[in-house]
Structure 1
Amino acid sequence: MSEQALFAVLRRYSYLAPPNRFEFPQDIALGRLQEFLVEKILHNDLLTTYAPSAQYQKTFWRRVIDYLEKRSQEACGKDPDFELSEEIYDHYVELLHSPVDGDGSLLRGLVPSRSFVTYHWQPPGIPGAQSYITTTLLESRNMIESGTTGLRTWTAAFFLAQYLLDNPETVLGKSILELGSGIGFMGIVIASLQVLCRAQDMPLPKLWLTDVDETVLLTCRRNLELPCNLSFSHDAVKTVRIDWFEALDDIAAPRLQSIICEEMDPELIIGSDIVFDPHLIRPLLATVKLAMGGSRKVAIFAVTVRNEATISNFLSSAQDMGLDVEDVPYVESRNGWILPNDVVEDISSVRLLKFSARR
């Protein structure tokens, strides 16, 4: 149990959980806790190469120092050999003297716009903390940056990722088109699953990640190509700019249909948290219908219900455009849960929907 508690600290640091909410394990000796913090976090090769922002690290290590000093004082001499690690203190002092953060933002009280974030998750059917896979991304910490919401990972993406971890047959061996791929979180998870579970000597299926914003696509491509991610070993991942509004344009639609149905030819279409703007509903659904091309292909979307009117509009518009919609029955297992609930918004607000062309 103690090792699981320590691993939880590593996971929470990796995905930038708010330091003031950290609960360090009370039943672990101070010396053991400090040793873990130094060896598994401070000296962690991955978290050093793809480090959280200096601002986050500064806040985290200040919290660690305060906690260790407080517990040491409360112990009242029960652990006389304990001393605060010079490595921890020196690292904190170094952070205090850092003039700027990794993305160029001044440290004085400002939230850095971007930071490396690492998520831990377990491949299907492989228990044990040692078997965790990591997904690392350069991610925005702002709700909106550069006029787009695509530079951070949203709740519905974690929910859809968990569904795929519990139901890997959904994506294994299949060519996939993701609409609104953002910075590549879902793409990296799917690519990793396909690499891990590929049959020997079999080619990997195509994975098409699409978005309309070139800055978002560039970040997505860079995240996919990080050597620390398993997606680095997937040789059939492509990033492509797609504008959903072209599906409503009589001139542009045939070209878009040719790209999706002939060049991409996906067996499955996915998307997460892409239903938030009423003005995008018809273009999105037109793109989905065009991609299905009257075949038996399906689309699976994870949708966060923020506004009931928007979701009702989305569902009724789908019916009007000849698409059948059904909720996918799913209760997350939390096996290898990709992100604990203390960071994800209430996942009860997420619906998993399956779309198919009406025959």
Structure 2
Amino acid sequence: MSTVGGELLGKPGTQANLGSDAPVLPKDISARSWIVADAESGEVLAAHNAHWRLAPASTLKMLFADTLLPKFNKDEKHKVVNADLAGVGSGSSMVGIKENETYTVHDLWLGVFLRSGNDAVHVLSAMNGGVKQSVADMNAHAEELQALDTHAVNPDGYDAKGQVSSAYDLTLIARSGLQKKDFREYCSTVRAQFPGATKKGKNGKKTRSSFEIQNTNRLLTGASGLDAYQGIAGVKNGNTTNAGATFTGVAERDGRVLLVTVMHPEKDEHNQVYKETASLLDWGFKAAGKATPVGELVPPKGADTDTSDGDAESTAQPKATASASGGAGGKAVAAGTAEGSSGVGVALGITGGVLVLLAGGAYLVNRKWPGSKDRGASA
């Protein structure tokens, strides 16, 4: 395996340096590969087969989004033609895009993040010059991020020969994406309204209704037998026949933000990938500051690693207060404002800390890459 991020991360099996103070790792983890990292410092607290190349399923959409989000204005509109939807895999997850209907880029990203819609991915790819161009852009961006275990064959994560990533890379990609305000907003959205089909009434008048879509991230929404995770703020799940279940999640507690990626749990139990992620997050919050890091999330190739003294110019936005969502400590709620048929409900009510994280747009804004004293990460 690769040793990007540290020699220990290239070794097989579990890598952890707990010492005498850190809690023991949870014993119920069956994933073939996983990682726990501090999102701000980049320190890897523990990992298991961190660089093992495995099928990523729809977690690969994080790379798609991190690559293409900056290319379009969210208000830009696109009328879908048949060619836009060509090549969508059989049995794909879909948001329900219709040919000859017009959607905003904002609508399409909601379809990508909430419903993991391969149809939305293909429409955005068409707007970017096609699937081939988008895949090339994704692979180039992965190389820039030093996500060297990752190779995209298609833009949506649908099973394909040679399409791989790793727990380390998916965590690296998520960390990059979370520095974009739109990425943070979309991956934390619980539910939203999505445009439906245009219908013609008896009087000849055309109307277009909308329908509700809900995020498939069960740690964000909760599910039968699974509570929403306190402090969760995204990121992306995936599941295919070949890949099994994969998930990358970010959560905040007491001012600390952790990223956890879990790939391919061997236990075949309902919502197992979320249960194992929650267990590793719980461990990470207890172990942070006690466990000795076993590696780090590396900066992109183009990051400024100048170590000269000086502070980066602050671009952080004003922080929100917990009262804006009715107080901290509640479950994930829809707290956005409706905008036509594309109203967004953002999970601002989970904890006061996450409210600040998302509503204030302060997550990783003006944070520094490991080894850098001068570079503020852009939002």
Global fold match (TM > 0.5): no
Normalized per residue, which structure has more helix?
1
When normalised by structure 2's length, the TM-score is 0.25
Tell me which protein shows more strand as a share of its residues: 2
Q: Tell me which structure has the larger Cα radius of gyration.
A: 1
